[in-house]
Homo-oligomer: A and B are copies of this chain.
Amino acid sequence: METKRRTLGSLHAPSFNAHLDEIQRQDGQIGQRIWIDHPAAIAIIPFLTDSTILMVKQYRYAIGKETLEIPAGKVDPGETPDEAVYRELLEETGYDADHIEQVRSYYPAIGYSNEIIHLYKARGLHQQSGIVDTAEISSLEVVTLESLRSRVRSGQIMDGKTMLALGLVLENKV
C-alpha cells in the first residue's frame, strides 16, 4: 500500500492529466510518483474477413514515428465503451460494423497510468465513407493475419495493444 500525502504538481491537457504526488511507501519511507489520470479507452480488431483486418497508420508524438496499429481511442465523457467503438471505427476507418463484442480489458501501463483499454472485435464491416479523422490517421491498410504475425515477429510492429490483439486471435479466443 502506498498512500498519497499531497500533490506536488500537475499537467493538464484537453483529454487527460499527469500528476506528481508525494507518497508514503509500504515501509514508511516518503517517495514521489508521477502518474497519468487517463479516461478509459477502446481498441478494435476490425475483421474485414476471417483472415484480414483493418489497420490504421498514424504519427505517434511520444515515440516520434509513424506506426501501423489497430484502431483505438479514448472513451468520450458521457459515452459508453460500445458507443466509442462505433465512433472511433467510423472516424478512423470510415467503416461501420454489424456486430461488436468485448474481448478483454487491460491496463497497458500499470506502473504509471490508470488507463484501462477495452479490447473489442468487430465483424460485418460496411464502408460508409473515407477516413474521417484525417488530422490523426494518414492511411488505412487491409492486413492479413499472417502478414501481421510476420510484422510483429520481425519487430516492425511494436504497439502493445496490436500485439495483444494478435495473441488473442492466434489463441483462437477472438
Q: What is A's interface to B at a CB cutoff of 8 Å?
A: 1-2, 8-14, 16-21, 23, 25-27, 29, 31-36, 38, 59-64, 66-67, 69, 72, 104-117, 134-136, 138, 152, 155, 158-160, 163-164, 166-168, 170-171
Contact = CB atoms under 8 A, between A and B. Distances in A.
Contact of A11 (B20, B26, B170): B20
Given A11-B11, A11-B20, A110-B69, A167 B171 contact: yes
Given A62-B113, A160-B164, A164-B160, A36 B36 contact: yes
- This chain: copies in complex: 2
Contacts of A64: 114
Closest 10 CB pairs of A and B: A167-B167, A109-B109, A18-B18, A11-B20, A35-B62, A13-B34, A108-B160, A27-B135, A2-B61, A106-B158
Contact of A112 (B25, B33, B62, B106): B62
Contact of A105 (B32, B116, B155, B171): B155
Contacts of A9: 11
A110 B63 contact: yes
A87 to B, nearest CB: 17
